Amino acid sequence: MLLVITYSQAARQTLRNVVRANESAVRRRLGRAALFRETELGAFLALRLREKHGGAVQIERTGPFNEFEDVPKAVYEAAVAYENRERPSTPYAKFAVGRPHPAPEELRDETL
């Protein structure tokens, strides 16, 4: 999907109008951002927005996120284990100590 984010009142208003007028092309509106279908029409609408409002419009491309394909097993397992911890007040950094889970510093700048 195409993620369109607006950064000005004018761009936000145009986005609102585009979303209203093109229900079939827009999957989701999230305030001043929206997810467009990844079709030529979606791209056309997104590019029109950027042509009109320049840097006040950001366009990114998103894709389905599959935690079993896109993420190392250790990261997935750490997330699940941490959310099922016994003591809710334990911060993750402490939780990871003595367990086979990556420390926050290891996770921080490691690109997927």
Partner 1 sequence: MTLGADAKRRRANGEGVATTPLRDHVGIVEDGMALSIRGALASAARSLGHETPADDRIAELRAALAAESVPEIDLSGARRRVAETSGEEEALRERVASLRGRVAALRDAGIDPESAREALRGATRRLSEVETERLAAEQALDAARRASRATRDRRERRLRREDRLANAERRARRTLADGIANEFERAVAIVPGAGTVGSRPSEFEGDAVTAALAVVRVAAVADPVVLDCRRFESTAAARACLDAPVVRL
Residue ranges in contact with partner 1 by CB under 8 A: 7-9, 12, 32, 54-56, 58
| Alpha carbon distance 2, 36 (integer Å) | 5
Q: Which is nearer to partner 1, 2 or 78 (CB)?
A: 2
Q: Which is nearer to partner 1, 7 or 82 (CB)?
A: 7
| Alpha carbon distance 16, 14 (integer Å) | 5
- What tokens were used for 34? 């929206």
- Least distance from C-beta 57 to partner 1, angstroms? 10
| Alpha carbon distance 100, 65 (integer Å) | 24
Q: Which is nearer to partner 1, 61 or 94 (CB)?
A: 61
Q: What is the CA radius of gyration of the chain?
A: 20
| Alpha carbon distance 49, 11 (integer Å) | 7
- Least distance from C-beta 66 to partner 1, angstroms? 25
- Least distance from C-beta 8 to partner 1, angstroms? 6
Q: Which is nearer to partner 1, 12 or 27 (CB)?
A: 12
